[in-house]
């Protein structure tokens, strides 16, 4: 049975990657998603802590009401998984505040929620078309030493040719400083409705500060909360595999403006290419699930 000593240990100094923290989330739908995420990880078990928030170097205990009925939402969440997870849970007093700690054990087979699945048809099609645009960019020698804006213009033109309504450097949302509207690299819309934001950057290494700035800009610019967005990196390195491995490590550890509830470093498994790689992180934004695609494109040397 899960104990208070165990909970205190996993919350300091900062929760490990197999720990999901959520300040206040008792809806069965999202609890089921949390359970599925942990149950599919390679570790023997992991945790969901309700009433806490991950920071960059520590964990903040916000607490929940001691009177909240935890049994019913957990029961409903488990009932809505195709495979039944094994869990232990309880309320504990940490720093004079109440938290709900749930320990989830690994399953040998995948776990999926069975209701309210998102329609990924438009999302998948746009990502496929974006990968095609990146392949064409790689094949054009004129862009081997181009600027970020020149590469963005080319990607935007290819997407336009594929039938998308795109805009570049559109002033929308807040700037990184929060003082004025920011500029988007590529903004895709349909009938006036935002579809996705593509934030691009040139990289010659895993520059964590620079990457963090762009990752955070996506959420600053995305004022409406689109279902998915893209961080597109044009990468000029000799060892692309090493770069990609390090990028994945950083993308998983980065503290996003909205809580990351899962990630998939094998999201590109259906694509055979070695010099274009992508992964996804999944986030809970104001109670809705959103995805961020991290696409890295190796730019050949001249």
* pLDDT surpassing 90 at residue 55: no
The pLDDT confidence band at residue 119, using thresholds 50, 70 and 90, is: very low
Dist. CA 276–CA 297, nearest whole Å: 5
SS3 content of the chain, % helix, strand, coil (to 5): 30, 30, 35
Q: What pLDDT, in 10s, does the model give residues 192-206?
A: 788 999 999 999 999
Q: Which two tokens stand for residue 293?
A: 């695609």
Q: Where are the domains of the chain?
A: 4-105, 121-298
Query: Residue 247's pLDDT is what?
Result: 96
Mean pLDDT of 90-101: 91
* pLDDT surpassing 50 at residue 15: yes
Compute the C-alpha angle 62/66/67, nearest 5°: 135
Which residues 6+ apart lie within 8 Å of 81 measured at CB?
A: 32, 35, 36, 111, 112, 113, 114
Residue carrying structure tokens 């069975």: 114
Q: Label each residue of 138-195 as H, E or C.
A: HHCHHHCCCCHHHHHHHHHHHHHHCCCEEEEEEEECCCCCCCCCEEEEEEEEECCEEE
Q: Which two tokens stand for residue 139?
A: 């094949």
Query: Residue 83's pLDDT is what?
Result: 64
Dist. CA 120–CA 234, nearest whole Å: 25
* pLDDT surpassing 60 at residue 294: yes
Measured between alpha carbons, how far is residue 164 from residues 36, 125, 138, 187, 281 in Å?
34, 11, 21, 10, 24
Residue carrying structure tokens 């104990």: 3
User: What is the percent of the chain with per-residue pLDDT over 90, rounded to a whole number?
Assistant: 41
Query: Residue 188's pLDDT is what?
Result: 92
Burial 50-70 (b: 16+ CB within 10 A, else e): bbbbbeeeebebebbeeeeeb
Mean pLDDT of 283-287: 90
Q: In the 8-state DSSP scheme, what is residue 64?
A: B
* pLDDT surpassing 80 at residue 290: yes
Angle between helices 148-161 and 121-139 (to 10 degrees): 130
Which residues 6+ apart lie within 8 Å of 125 measured at CB?
A: none
| CA dihedral over 26, 30, 36, 42, signed as positive or negative | negative
Alpha helix (H) ranges present in the chain?
4-10, 28-39, 71-79, 121-139, 148-161, 208-221, 240-253
Dist. CA 259–CA 267, nearest whole Å: 19
* Assigned CATH for 4-105: 3.30.950.30
Dist. CA 54–CA 51, nearest whole Å: 11
Length of the chain: 302
Strands 182-190 and 165-172: antiparallel
Dist. CA 278–CA 268, nearest whole Å: 6
Query: Residue 108's pLDDT is what?
Result: 63
């Amino acid at each position: 049975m899960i104990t208070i000593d165990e909970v205190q240990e996993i919350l300091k100094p900062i929760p490990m990657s197999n720990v999901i923290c959520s300040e206040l989330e008792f809806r069965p739908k999202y609890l089921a998603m949390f359970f599925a995420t942990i149950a599919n990880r390679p570790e023997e078990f992991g945790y969901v802590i309700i009433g806490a928030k991950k920071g960059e170097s520590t964990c903040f205990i916000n607490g929940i009401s001691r009177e909240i009925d935890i049994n019913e939402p957990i029961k409903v969440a488990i009932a809505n998984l195709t495979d039944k997870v094994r869990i232990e849970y309880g309320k504990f007093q940490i720093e004079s505040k109440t938290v709900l700690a749930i320990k989830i054990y690994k399953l040998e087979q995948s776990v999926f929620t069975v209701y309210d699945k998102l329609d990924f048809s438009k999302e998948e099609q746009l990502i496929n078309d974006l990968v095609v645009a990146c392949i064409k960019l790689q094949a054009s020698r004129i862009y081997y030493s181009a600027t970020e804006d020149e590469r963005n213009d080319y990607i935007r033109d290819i997407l336009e040719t594929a039938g998308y309504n795109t805009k570049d450097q559109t002033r929308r949302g807040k700037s990184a400083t929060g003082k004025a509207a920011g500029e988007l690299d590529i903004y895709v819309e349909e009938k006036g409705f935002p579809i996705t934001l593509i934030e691009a950057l040139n990289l010659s290494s895993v520059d964590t500060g620079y990457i963090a700035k762009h990752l955070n800009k996506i959420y600053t610019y995305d004022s409406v909360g689109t279902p998915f967005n893209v961080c597109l990196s044009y990468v000029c390195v000799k060892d692309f595999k090493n770069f990609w491995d390090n990028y994945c490590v950083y993308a998983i550890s980065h503290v996003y403006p909205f809580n990351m509830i899962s990630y998939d470093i094998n999201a590109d498994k259906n694509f055979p290419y070695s010099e274009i790689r992508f992964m996804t992180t999944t986030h809970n934004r104001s109670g809705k699930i959103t995805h961020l695609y991290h696409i890295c494109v190796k730019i050949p040397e001249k």
